[in-house]
Structure 1
Amino acid sequence: MLDGLDEVDWAALTHAYGPADDVPGLLREAALSDLYERLFPQGTVYPATAAAVPFLVELAAEGRAEFLWMVGALAGAAPVRPGVLACRDRLVPLLAHPDPAVREAAAYPLAQLGTADELLRARWAEESDARVRASLVLALRLTEAITDPSPTVRAAAAVALARGGTPFPRDPAVIEAVATAAEAGAEVSWLHADPFGWLDVVVRAAPGTALPTRLIGSSSADVRSAAARALTLRCQDSRSAPAELVPLLEPLLTDPKTRDAAVGALRRCGRAAARFAGALAEVAADYPGTAASRSITAELRAVETLMLIGDPRWVEPVIRAARDGNTPRVHARMPVSCSPPVLEAVRRALRDLAGDPGAGRAIEALCAVLGRWEGAAGEAVPELVAALPSAPAAAARALLAIGHLGGEMVPGLRTLAGEPGGLAAATALFRLTGDPGPALRALLTARPPVPAGIVAVLGPLAQPVVPGFELLLTGEAAASQPQCAGQVLAAQVVMAATGDTTAALRTVQAILRTGGPRAALGAAVVAELVEGGSAVRLRGELATWEPELRALLDDPRADVEAAGALWRLGVPAAELVPAVLGAIERGSRVAAAAGLLREMGATVEIAALVRRDRRIHAAGIDDDIVINDEVLRESLAAAG
């Protein structure tokens, strides 16, 4: 068994955690979860993954269904697919295995590999087990099985219809077949993340409101809840979908069995959720009672949704929860809306809390929100200044984000400057006091990339830290992205402090030539240097890097940064816009790409992005796809 395993130089290969010398032991133990974690985490493959494929297939060929599912997933990963394909013949006999669980799993990798239909059809002709038949339906794309008596087979056929590349049928009989399969508790193992995962696929593909309406009217609370979640996927795909689908959630909000699912769906539907702001406010009012829970509760979802739509009724429950010692767990990149009513509510709350010795945590929570709004929260400066005695660090951080700098902030800035990531606060402290010490200490522990403007403020005063940074300017790119980020910071510091560009630029150019995320760091520095007024003398030298930068336009991990650098070096926008639009279509660094389109004056392309119905998927958590697209669209529309 596993012949040849020890002949592979596993230590020379890597997986998600580094050297792969532990893989042989895990294969011998058939430690599936550990193997997944190292060789195929979240669909990512590594050099060790390809080397492990023959041995994973050998384990699968022994009739281990769990390894068949893993091999099937690997068959869909382009870098290792050839290795799985080479072992296909070892899997074919498993279609006739006595265990139906093995037969069901075997159809998955064989279908992924494009096994000849006659082998699968021969099995279909004699198969009686419903779950195996469902697996074969998906493998053979047997959409006609939508009329099969088995709910499980019908569910699989519905998925085949959804994935078939043609419009999903509006036939009432098909809709009823899908609904009754869901009500019977059908599951599709190919979509095993959730019992109703198959329904997500089908509702997402089905046009109109007929299917979600039928599911939301089901007698099964589980089906109604699954339908609420599934329709949000259509909202994530299409800008016009929320207007059509969100009203369908109304009966679920008043049903105790489905209220939580409906609130969770509204959290994912962006501004269309404002239709039910009153119901959300009722749920959010109970947030203080659940704020201590580690679970993601409906009450927290309601608070978040009110934040997204700019309804001020989130402020009071958040304050009450904070008074009880619970800081709201609102993730850092969620776009909290700065509507005038919300800004006024937050300012009023800060005035009411001023001087209250027990309100420190509540004040900190409100300061954190104001800091997110940056310049848009400028009207709240008086309240934040008044909050400095109660929450010096939090209020100073918010004031700094807004762009206010005053002597009253010094105590709070001193606290922030000593914390990880305190360089911006330390630089502000230098501007107020003239003391460069905190900024120099923060510079040594900064997490690159650091905006060049912050380093430039110190200029020659950064001389004391130059020797340490000069050691990083080797003229060669470091092996990892974090190490290259340190080299980029070193280049910024040395150039700002000494004016000497020789070693710095040679190292940045070496980083550019690596490609990928490391090169993106180098391209971003080039763009900053060209933009800076002190870099006029460097423009000629940087312009000679155009070939390296142009090569990066075809690199999906560095194209936006390269386009930004080339634009500032004078390359016409028409030559750069395709790469920037490509990044937006991939959902890669969308905010930066959109900002660059605005900077380049690409009005025609911006107008097309604003008009289209298909959403732009920006980075962030899944729940924020809709709201992030709405915010981006508004920003682009304003620029156009």
Structure 2
Amino acid sequence: MLLGLADIDWSSMHHAYGTAEEVPELLEQLASPDADVRGKALSRFYSAVHHQGDVMNCTVATLPFLLDLAGDFATPDRPAIVALLVSIGEAAIYGYGRNYIDYDGVTPSNCDSGADLLREHAPTFIAYAADGEQRMRRAAIPALAWFIDDAPRAAGLIQARLTPEADTMERLLVLETMAVLAERLPAAVDTAVAWFDVLAADPDLGPEIRLAALAQRTRCSRDRIGPHVIPTAVALIREIADEPTTSEQWAGPPREKTPVTNAPPQIADAFAQLDHFSSVYAPTTDVLRTFHKALGARVAERTALLTAQTASRDAGTRLDAVRMACDLMKGFRGDHSALISLVAGQLDTPEFQVAAEAAAALESCQVIAEPARDALAEHVARQEAIRGPLVWAAPDPHLRRAHQNAVRALARLGDDRAVPHILAALEQDVDTWRAVGVAGCLPQAADRLTPHLCRLLGGAALSAPPFDGGTQDLLTALRRLNEPTTLPTILEFLTEAVQAEQWSVAGIALTTVAAFGSSAQDALPIVRSLTSCSDGHVRSAAVQALWAIGVGESEILPLVLEPLQGTTSFWIRDAGEILTQIDRDAACAAVPRLRELLTNNYVWTRIFAASTLWDVAGEPEAQAVLDTLEEAWVKNGYTRDFVAQVMKRMGPSATPMLPRLVEELAETRRCGGLGVGISRDEDLQRDIGDLIAQLA
């Protein structure tokens, strides 16, 4: 047993999932001779004690024991312990002085003392970084950028690690460590830049190292990117492509993956994609990610890099290019037709994994993927011609995914040519959830698709998302297709969901019923009963459905005014949508409460109230509404598409916002970043353009 473990009151501390009483056992297991025991303990440590990079009191309390384990030659996997220590140290030093609160929500975190302790042990990590074992060096080298505050000393130690015996991946790590040091300590920037310039110009170094030097130099001196940088990088990418490094030369042993069991296929797929996004497919993967991140909004320069990447003979480099092109289009505005064509050009590559990635990228690009429409259709038709009509269920997972992603991308464009393949998928009953997810994009085939969707809904298990068997996607598809013959099946499902008290899917079913409007008269009894449901989402959805079906204002008004007395944002939104459609004199009863809600502490509640206030009361409330909308616009980019819609209804009264609109339309970065998505941002740009034309 590690000395001193029993002297600490672990029960008084917390990790991410409760008290830290299991920590002593985890520490003991990290020294187990059984690799499986060690692996599970390390995974649990990262998950609970060092959760998402957090450094809390229990994390700091483990440091002396981890240091002892790392220093004990009897410890079976010392590099893994060193890597854990370095990860904790990076987080602690990065957050130094920020006064974090521990997992109990009350006690101050002891994060700073952990940083101080690891700085004191910097000489130990300097020795580890020069160790004879490669894994130990790789684990320790990043510590040189974090645990030493003397910039010249740290820079010298890092430079000394670029040894002739170091392999390519270790050298790339050394360069990355220097860039991290320059970001952390400004005093190291000039030294780092000068060193990177020397390395980038050294013809005796391999092209991967020279490219990394360019990328890391760009990272730590983004305001000093000369005109030679991109052409030089492109030339190096082409040189690498001429003699690609085999995976045996650079990749370590494959990482063990824990299979996802007893979960719906869409959940298992989500975990697989998370793992996929962190995968490294070429020795230049991280280097080029760094390069693209450093270039940021320089879309033209990044496109030039991507053009060279997609021309590589190395499949991993091309797969990375597709991912990075997708990230660029998701994060930044502009005419991306050239990038779309580059990605589409990878659809018929012989490497199915690259083709699958290209199709997935085009699907995620949605509205801007139009230039790839014909390429997608031709790819789908070609695969079917070669492999037959069962290609959706092909045994090769990459081929199957390439075909499915291409069909889904085509369906999202509303293309008729996707219909036979979506029907085939539903008929084959293989990966049906992937077909269901895009079926609603094909209303022209509603009469052919809905029988299959109803069959699936009738057999779906009743449970709450995310383990709901895909019922949410099924209901969404049926709502979009709006085929009247499906209403009895939807009502039957709604009844079963209510009986089982599965309120989340019941709420979605109500929204689907509402889409049928007055033709859903048969639903009135159950919808009326749910207006008093204990679940707030269901209650609100029932009121929405009641109004959509066509009940009178006298019945609906009390049901709309009641939720306005609360502050829940979706209640305010849903009630407001109905208030704007009923008699204006009756709706004005809500005006005093709507004014009060403009001061609520939640931005969405404020803007939903402001929107309704304008629609109900009009010009007399213009200034209060505009003030609320402008504050949200400035402080929360995610609100801008909603705010723009309100301003379009306000017309000339929104003129004071014109400078904000012009400023937003001039932005290169998509509003709200990756969280907003391409479609929402493209709609926002169009709405802003319309507004500017209307107000200017």
Q: Structure 1's 617 and 424: CA in aligned 2 closer, same or farther, altered over 3 A?
A: closer
Residue 316 of structure 1, CA deviation: 1.1
- Asked if the contact 2:334/2:668 (under 8 Å) is kept, the reply is yes
Task: Please say if 1:254 is aligned against 2:348.
Answer: yes
Task: Structure 2 unaligned segments of length 5 or more: list them.
Answer: 31-40, 71-77, 101-108, 180-191, 253-276, 460-469, 548-556, 614-620
SS at match of 2:142: helix
Q: Structure 1's 411 and 636: CA in aligned 2 closer, same or farther, altered over 3 A?
A: farther
Partner of 2:48: 38
Kindly provide the CA deviation profile for residues 440-477 of structure 1, in whole angstroms up to 9, marking residues without a partner as x: 4796563647537728969xxxxxxxxxxxxxxxxxxx
Query: After superposition, where does 1:369-388 map in structure 2 within 5 Å?
Result: 371-372=476-477, 384-387=483-486
Task: Please say if 1:328 is aligned against 2:432.
Answer: yes
SS at match of 1:329: helix
Residue 322 of structure 1, CA deviation: 0.6
Q: Distance in 1 between matches of 2:495 and 2:418?
A: 32
- Counterpart of 1:184 (choices 245, 259, 262) is 245
Task: Please say if 1:140 is aligned against 2:178.
Answer: yes
- Counterpart of 2:361 (choices 265, 278, 302) is 265
Residue 256 of structure 1, CA deviation: 1.3
Partner of 1:161: 217
Partner of 1:349: 448
- Counterpart of 2:280 (choices 188, 194, 199) is 194
Task: Structure 1 unaligned segments of length 5 or more: list them.
Answer: 397-409, 459-494, 509-520, 553-557
Q: Distance in 2 between matches of 1:228 and 1:385?
A: 41
- Asked if the contact 1:567/1:576 (under 8 Å) is kept, the reply is no
Kindly provide the CA deviation profile for residues 287-316 of structure 1, in whole angstroms up to 9, marking residues without a partner as x: 853348787711121122112223221111
Residue 254 of structure 1, CA deviation: 3.4
- Asked if the contact 2:63/2:114 (under 8 Å) is kept, the reply is no
Q: Structure 1's 248 and 432: CA in aligned 2 closer, same or farther, altered over 3 A?
A: closer
Q: Distance in 2 between matches of 1:69 and 1:372?
A: 48
Q: Percent identity?
A: 18
Partner of 2:85: 68
SS at match of 1:212: helix
- Counterpart of 2:312 (choices 199, 218, 233) is 218
Q: Which amino acid aligns with 1:275?
A: P
Partner of 1:119: 153
- Asked if the contact 1:239/1:614 (under 8 Å) is kept, the reply is yes
Q: Structure 1's 59 and 221: CA in aligned 2 closer, same or farther, altered over 3 A?
A: same
Q: Distance in 2 between matches of 1:610 and 1:331?
A: 36
Task: Please say if 1:305 is aligned against 2:343.
Answer: no
Partner of 2:670: 615
Q: Structure 1's 33 and 233: CA in aligned 2 closer, same or farther, altered over 3 A?
A: same
Partner of 1:422: 506
Q: Distance in 2 between matches of 1:498 and 1:246?
A: 46
Partner of 2:188: none
Q: Structure 1's 104 and 432: CA in aligned 2 closer, same or farther, altered over 3 A?
A: same
- Asked if the contact 1:288/1:317 (under 8 Å) is kept, the reply is no
Q: Structure 1's 565 and 10: CA in aligned 2 closer, same or farther, altered over 3 A?
A: farther
Q: Structure 1's 251 and 39: CA in aligned 2 closer, same or farther, altered over 3 A?
A: same
Q: Distance in 2 between matches of 1:321 and 1:12?
A: 52
Task: Please say if 1:85 is aligned against 2:123.
Answer: no
Partner of 1:290: 392
Query: After superposition, where does 1:13-52 map in structure 2 within 5 Å?
Result: 13-15=14-16, 17-30=17-30, 31-42=41-52, 45=54, 49-52=56-59
Query: After superposition, where does 1:419-568 map in structure 2 within 5 Å?
Result: 420=502, 421-423=505-507, 432=521, 440=529, 444=533, 446=535, 448=537, 450-451=539-540, 454=543, 522=568, 525=571, 549=600, 552=601, 558-565=602-609
Q: Distance in 1 between matches of 2:457 and 2:378?
A: 21
Deviates more, 1:308-317 or 1:92-101: 92-101
Kindly provide the CA deviation profile for residues 470-529 of structure 1, in whole angstroms up to 9, marking residues without a partner as x: xxxxxxxxxxxxxxxxxxxxxxxxx9689999xx96xx5xxxxxxxxxxxx645556667
Q: Which amino acid aligns with 2:25?
A: G
User: If the length of structure 2 is used for normalisation, what is the TM-score?
Assistant: 0.63
Q: Distance in 2 between matches of 1:192 and 1:453?
A: 42
Kindly provide the CA deviation profile for residues 62-107 of structure 1, in whole angstroms up to 9, marking residues without a partner as x: 2533313532552445647635432332441212222443343334
SS at match of 1:576: helix
- Asked if the contact 1:610/1:637 (under 8 Å) is kept, the reply is yes
Partner of 2:232: 173
Kindly provide the CA deviation profile for residues 346-399 of structure 1, in whole angstroms up to 9, marking residues without a partner as x: 14635xx87xx999459999996895596xx6xx65xx22455xxx42xx4xxx
Q: Distance in 1 between matches of 2:592 and 2:457?
A: 53
Q: Structure 1's 579 and 160: CA in aligned 2 closer, same or farther, altered over 3 A?
A: farther
Q: Structure 1's 73 and 594: CA in aligned 2 closer, same or farther, altered over 3 A?
A: farther
Query: After superposition, where does 1:389-408 map in structure 2 within 5 Å?
Result: 392-393=488-489, 396=490
User: If the length of structure 1 is used for normalisation, what is the TM-score?
Assistant: 0.67
Q: Distance in 1 between matches of 2:327 and 2:28?
A: 41
- Asked if the contact 2:15/2:58 (under 8 Å) is kept, the reply is no
Q: Structure 1's 260 and 327: CA in aligned 2 closer, same or farther, altered over 3 A?
A: closer
Q: Which amino acid aligns with 1:616?
A: C
Q: Structure 1's 618 and 300: CA in aligned 2 closer, same or farther, altered over 3 A?
A: farther
Residue 416 of structure 1, CA deviation: 5.8
Residue 22 of structure 1, CA deviation: 2.9
- Asked if the contact 2:648/2:691 (under 8 Å) is kept, the reply is yes
SS at match of 2:433: coil
Q: Structure 1's 137 and 235: CA in aligned 2 closer, same or farther, altered over 3 A?
A: same
Task: Please say if 1:59 is aligned against 2:31.
Answer: no
Q: Distance in 1 between matches of 2:560 and 2:421?
A: 53
- Asked if the contact 2:633/2:639 (under 8 Å) is kept, the reply is no
Kindly provide the CA deviation profile for residues 332-353 of structure 1, in whole angstroms up to 9, marking residues without a partner as x: 9x78885xxx433x14635xx8
Give the root-mean-square deviation of aligned CA atoms: 4.9
- Asked if the contact 1:271/1:627 (under 8 Å) is kept, the reply is yes
Q: Distance in 2 between matches of 1:54 and 1:271?
A: 51
Residue 425 of structure 1, CA deviation: 5.1
SS at match of 1:451: helix
Q: Structure 1's 147 and 268: CA in aligned 2 closer, same or farther, altered over 3 A?
A: farther
Residue 52 of structure 1, CA deviation: 1.0
Partner of 1:484: none
SS at match of 2:313: coil
Partner of 1:514: none
Q: Distance in 1 between matches of 2:605 and 2:669?
A: 25
Partner of 1:465: none
- Asked if the contact 2:453/2:478 (under 8 Å) is kept, the reply is no
SS at match of 1:239: coil
Kindly provide the CA deviation profile for residues 28-52 of structure 1, in whole angstroms up to 9, marking residues without a partner as x: 4332211222245555x4xx73541
Q: Distance in 1 between matches of 2:327 and 2:289?
A: 7
Q: Structure 1's 315 and 589: CA in aligned 2 closer, same or farther, altered over 3 A?
A: farther
Residue 319 of structure 1, CA deviation: 0.5
Q: Structure 1's 40 and 59: CA in aligned 2 closer, same or farther, altered over 3 A?
A: closer
Partner of 1:7: 8
SS at match of 2:337: helix
- Asked if the contact 2:597/2:606 (under 8 Å) is kept, the reply is no
